[in-house]
Amino acid sequence: MSNLNISLKDTSLIIATYNEEESLPFVLNEIKEYDFGEVIIVDGHSTDNTKRIAKEYGATFIQQDEKGWGSAVLQGISVSTHEYITYMDGDGSYNPTAILEMKSLIQNYDAIFSSRYKDGAKSPDDTFIRAIGNQLFTFLVRILFKCRISDALFFYPLFRREILENVELKSTDFTLCLELPALVHLNKLKYMEILSLERERFAGVTKVNAFYDGLKILKGMLNLRFRT
């Protein structure tokens, strides 16, 4: 990282957590040298040691006010203070080097998005249902919103705070993943997509229910289409 000489002091990193005591130390250790302006952990009332670990590493820790993954992310955005905003999960599956690549490109764009599937890449997290579901949702995003992305359900962006003056994010569930790029595109903001290979979860278990959350995303996508 050091040879790239890219500063993240002007960047807020948001991490949404729920019972991630096994993987969170790995994540926070890995990003220590990146020197973010702030690291904000929004926690969905974990019953393990997530809070203690976050504070030990000097992260800002806040309890989630409302239910839903999207609500946690939006709450983190609302309390963030820096010019650029990015997000990572607390399970260790996100490769932080992608943030450096996004930051190196952001000067010419309003937002940069990451894709697990760009240039034919694959995700180790994919079951058959998840792979088909993501292909379907990505296809629908491209059809309904004309958005030029290849991975609608991977929320790994870097964007300028100022775009929030034009982009009103409302989704409280995983629909937020596609809401941000869709609204960026519809508002004619400048964006691009990079490849970021997803890693296997470091520890713990996923909190995503492919079928149940998929139905909520489909409903949210249709609501978004009628809203825009």
Contacts of 169 (CB under 8 A, 6+ apart): 74, 77, 176, 179, 180, 183
Contact 174, 69 (CB under 8 A): yes
So what's the pLDDT on residue 4? 58
Mean pLDDT, range 28-51, rounded to an integer:
96
The region of weakest confidence among 70-79, 161-170, 216-225 is 216-225
So what's the pLDDT on residue 133? 80
Residue of 89, 75, 110 whose CA lies nearest to 15: 89
Q: How many CB atoms lie within 10 A of CB 162?
A: 12
- Who wins on pLDDT, 145 or 127? 145
* Count of structural domains, the chain: 1
Q: Provide the whole-model pTM.
A: 0.91
pLDDT in tens, 81-94: 999 999 999 999 99
So what's the pLDDT on residue 124? 63
So what's the pLDDT on residue 108? 95
Q: Judge whether residue 41 has pLDDT over 60.
A: yes
- CATH number for the domain that contains residue 132: 3.90.550.10
Pairing mode, strands 157-160 and 84-89:
antiparallel
**Residue-range definition of the domain harbouring residue 186:** 2-227
Q: Can you name the residues that pair with 184 across neighbouring β-strands?
A: none
